[in-house]
Structure 1
Amino acid sequence: MSGPNGDLPMPMEIILEEEDNCLGEAGNELEYAAINSMLDQISTCLDQLEEKNDHLHARLKELLESNQQTRVEFQQQQQLNEGPPAAKPHS
């Protein structure tokens, strides 16, 4: 079957190769610009994740220190409530 001009239809790969050749340097520059833009977006996302990770790490450290302090205070309170053993009266 022939195309509208009587030409045989071209396989898709040949069509894409011809388009790439037509774009040449300008096409490459557009591709590099698109890749750079995507890399910038990825970098921004990674920076945001790093900030959130740092914030979470700091909060977890605060929580751990608070829990340790609470445990020490609880143990001290238990020792005060128990007190020294009472002396037994002599009979």
Structure 2
Amino acid sequence: MSGPNGDPNISSEEGIINDDDEFGEEEYAAVNSMLDQINSYLDDLEERNDALNGKLHELLESNREARRDFRAQLAGSQTQEEHRDVEEESTLPSKQDQDKENN
């Protein structure tokens, strides 16, 4: 016959533990109090974790926006420089104009 946990070498009668140590109400109350304290600490830790997680997501989104803005500014300054270069080239006399003036 198998034991209480499916162990084939232990009979169900041998698997029963007779514990003569009886716990009083005080011990149960102390254990219950400790468990309540642990539960309270875990709840506090979970709230802090959630708050940090929220702040992390805000920071990541802020960094994404800052990178987008920076890239837009960088692209804008590059187009302004290109536009300025084109304007300067159009105001400079062409090679043909220079040749006409020199002759």
TM-score (norm 2): 0.62
Decide which of 68, 74, 89 is 1:64's aligned counterpart: 74
Question: Structure 1 stretches (4+) deviating beyond 6 angstroms?
Answer: none
Q: Does residue 40 of structure 2 align to residue 30 of structure 1? A: yes
SS at match of 1:83: coil
Higher relative contact order (CA 8 A, sep 6+): 2
Q: Does residue 53 of structure 2 align to residue 43 of structure 1? A: yes
Displacement of 1:23: 2.6
Q: Percent identity?
A: 10
For 2:34 and 2:92, the matched residues in 1 are separated by 86
SS at match of 2:94: coil
Q: Does residue 88 of structure 2 align to residue 82 of structure 1? A: no
For 1:55 and 1:29, the matched residues in 2 are separated by 39
Q: Which has the larger radius of gyration?
A: 2
Q: Which has the higher helix share?
A: 1
Report how many residues are paired: 70
Displacement of 1:76: 1.0
Aligned to 1:11: none
TM-score (norm 1): 0.70
